[in-house]
Amino acid sequence: MTVPKNAVLLRIFIGEDDRHDGKPLYECIVTKAREMHLAGATVLRGGMGFGHSSRVHTTKILRLSQDLPLVVEIVDSEDKVSALLPVLDSMMTSGLVTLEKIQVLQYGQETIREPTRLT
C-alpha cells in the first residue's frame, strides 16, 4: 500500500469509555479504517485532558473512574479519509474530529544504510 506524498491526517478525540454497539469506540474506528483499506491508524492514550464538558479526566490514583482521553490518528489520501467521515458520524455521539493536510515523508519502507567500516 502506498500513501500519497500529500495526504491528510484525521484526528479523533474521544474518551476511553466511549462505546459503539457495546464495544470500545476506538476499536470500532480502527477496525473500520482497516476494513476500508486506509494506510494505518494509531490510538494514543492521554494521561490528562478535558473536552466539551470541561470535566478533567486524569490518571490520578484516587479517581475510580478514569475515562481517559484517547486520540485516534489516521493518515491517508483525502479521498479515502473523506469516505470514512460519514461512517464516523454514525458511530460517534460526542468527541472532536479534526482534519489537516500533511506531507508524508516516509511510509512502510526501511532506509537501507551502508555498513560502517571500522579501520
Please write the tens of the pLDDT for every residue from 23-43: 999 999 999 999 999 999 999
Nearest C-alpha neighbor of 70 from the set 51, 90, 93: 51
Domains and CATH numbers, the chain: 6-103 (3.30.70.120)
52 CA to centre of own chain: 19
- What stretches of the chain adopt beta strand conformation (E)? 6-15, 19-20, 23-24, 41-45, 48-49, 57-58, 69-76, 96-103
**Mean pLDDT computed over every residue of the chain:** 85
Prediction pTM value: 0.79
